[in-house]
Chain A
Amino acid sequence: MGIIKVRDLVYEYIRRDEEGNVEGITTAVDDVDLDIEQGDFVAILGHNGSGKSTLAKHLNAILYPVEGTVWVDGKDTKEEKYVWDIRQTAGMVFQNPDNQIIGQIVEEDVGFGPENMGVPTKEIWERVEESLKAVGMYQFRKFSPNKLSGGQKQRVSIAGVIAMHPKCIVLDEPTAMLDPKGRKEVIRAVRALNDVEHITVILITHYMEEVIHADKVYVMDQGKVAIQGTPREVFSEVEKLKELRLDVPQVTLLAYELAKEGFHMPKGVLTNQEFREALDQCMR
């Protein structure tokens, strides 16, 4: 069994009026199945309100399924005794960097997770050092988080999660509030974790460029998985993605439009390099 397995997951947000009567039910996640293997880089795509963040919060036992089951490393998230194990196995990075940094100094914040787990003092320091180095923030260890840029803050948040030695990291739109430079920094750090440390990464985003390196992509719409497959498979379905109000990377779109005009272009071109090669082939 993989690191994360989700079966028939349903989650409903229930709105209540002041007397506590049910006013309405919104099904945020509707019958989702997910299988993620150890070491994978998985991207979950979707526009606002597609249920992707709700799904993410299930992987860390912050939310519990209304129906269906989520297993993290073989443990059912509904079982209370496993909650802390699960949160340690699947770390989570949130959207707003300001609202998830607890410490007043970078190194103290990274040490927060291990402190909560009861790791001995000496080992906390080792973990803080190695995780700050892994995201390239070691030289900022004595800084106040308030003096860092958004991308740097988000890398500190990631270091704070790695210091807990998780098998898997769930990143819930970590780049949504960042400028393009910060976004690149964060994505580079995340990819390095996956390549070098072999930590399973689940990246939730609505930026298409960030998912082209993923092993598997899930596209969500209205709480359901609409498309799944490798990035190439997913981006071959340009029409369907447009229907879901999602953009495709610009090269992919260009290749698609050219193919429509009768040029011989392969489906699902993802990078500039691939496009150039395909174009060379055409011209010959």
Chain B
Amino acid sequence: MLRDITLGQYYQVDSVIHRLDPRVKLGTTILFIISLFVFDGVGGYAAAALFLALVIRLSNVPFRFMIKGMKSIVFLLSITVVFNLFLTPGEPMFRLWKLTVTQEGVRLAVLLSIRLGFLIIGSSVMTLTTTPNQLTDGLEKMLKPLNKLKVPVHEIAMMMSIALRFIPILMEETDKIMKAQLARCADFESGNLIKKAKSLVPLLVPLFISAFRRANDLAMAMEARCYRGGEHRTKMKPLQYEKRDYIAYLIVLCYLVAGVILGKLLPVLLGTVLA
């Protein structure tokens, strides 16, 4: 049934990573992505790979779920790899028909695929271990300082969570309207693209009208329950850092330091060993 769909790709198991504060996970993901682009050298990437492996291990989520995310970017990845391979100027390695593969090109292509791959896997770990609700809460709390710049942080978060709540309802409604129109001989299947797009009009118009009606009802229900924006509001489930969250931050810090040191030191060390 349509109502049973789960949003996002949350994977329900219990693990340390699941129990972490969403702010920690958001922050770590951002830091991890930045680190991927700052680190260079084999050492840095070794550190990133180790860190990622550790988090995946702790999360109890099967590895194949993380790979799922990769599928969507295979196309993008292959294009960038090809372009980098052939179009980077530098020391030529070998020629393929009219195109030259350069050493710099190979280096860039490998680097880029590692970066993109880690980036996707890293962010999948976050979405797989955090419910959309927790993410919204975490975002709201993290972006709170932006309130001073007149950014309506609470309102944005509330909008996101209401949208999440209504997506399954509107999906079901779409299904209902579609069946009703099919029963009256509407045709959503045949014809070219333009014709298909046109045939969606009798689906979209009722859907929009009903969505507006729902929005109106919901606004009234919220007002009736004393909703008046983010001020004076208390939280039923306030986000509070616990010991494990501080430990997580510490580990992330260690990772960053290790990455930088390894990135800089490893070539030097290797150099001395080889000499």
**Number of residues on chain A facing chain B (CB within 8 A):** 39
B234 at the interface (CB under 8 A from A): yes
Most buried by A among B164, B217, B238: B217
Indicate if the CB atoms of B234 and A124 lie closer than 8 Å. yes
Set of chain A residues within 8 Å of B224, measured between Cβ atoms:
60, 62, 87, 91-92, 94
Contact: A102 with B226, CB < 8 Å? Answer: no
- Which of B165, B168, B232 contacts A118, CB < 8 Å? B232
B226 touches A88 (CB 8 A): yes
How far does the Cβ of A92 sit from chain B's closest Cβ, in whole Å? 4
Chain B residue with Cβ nearest A107: B236
From A145, which residue of chain B is reached at the shortest CB distance? B165
Instruction: Mark the stretch among A109-117, A262-270, A273-281 that contacts chain B.
Output: A109-117
The reply to whether B225 and A112 contact each other, CB–CB distance below 8 Å, is yes
A119 contact set on B, CB distance < 8 A: 234
Contact (A115, B233) CB under 8 Å given A104-B133, A147-B3: yes
Please tell me if the beta carbons of B217 and A128 are within 8 angstroms of each other in the complex: no
Determine if B164 and A104 form an interchain contact, defined as CB atoms under 8 angstroms apart: yes
Q: Which residues of B contact A20 (CB under 8 A)?
A: none
Asked if B220 and A113 make an inter-chain contact with CB atoms under 8 angstroms apart, the answer reads no
A87 touches B225 (CB 8 A): yes
CA distance A111 to B162 in the complex (A): 15
A139 within 8 A of partner (CB): no
**Do the beta carbons of A102 and B221 come within 8 Å of each other?**
yes
The answer to whether A161 touches B169 (Cβ under 8 A) is no
Contact for A99 among B133, B214, B236, CB less than 8 A: B214
User: Is the C-beta of B227 less than 8 angstroms from some C-beta in chain A?
Assistant: yes
Q: Does B228 count as interface, using CB distance less than 8 angstroms?
A: yes
- Answer whether residue A160 sits at the interface, using C-beta atoms and an 8 A cutoff: yes
A257 at the interface (CB under 8 A from B): no
Q: Distance in Å from the Cβ of A107 to the closest Cβ of chain B?
A: 8
Contacting residues, chain A, for B238 (C-beta < 8 A): 121
In the assembled complex, the Cα of A111 lies from the Cα of B133 at a distance in Å of: 15
- Residues of chain A lying within 8 A (CB to CB) of residue B161: 104
A70 interface hit (Cβ, 8 Å) = no
| Contact of A100 with B by CB under 8 A | yes
B223–A102 CB distance below 8 A = no
A279 to B236, CA, bound (A): 57
Nearest 8 A/B pairs, CB to CB: A100-B221, A99-B217, A111-B236, A113-B225, A116-B226, A92-B224, A118-B232, A124-B236
Interface residues of A, Cβ cutoff 8 Å to B: 60, 62, 84, 87-88, 91-92, 94, 96, 98-105, 107-108, 111-121, 124-125, 128, 145-147, 160-161, 164
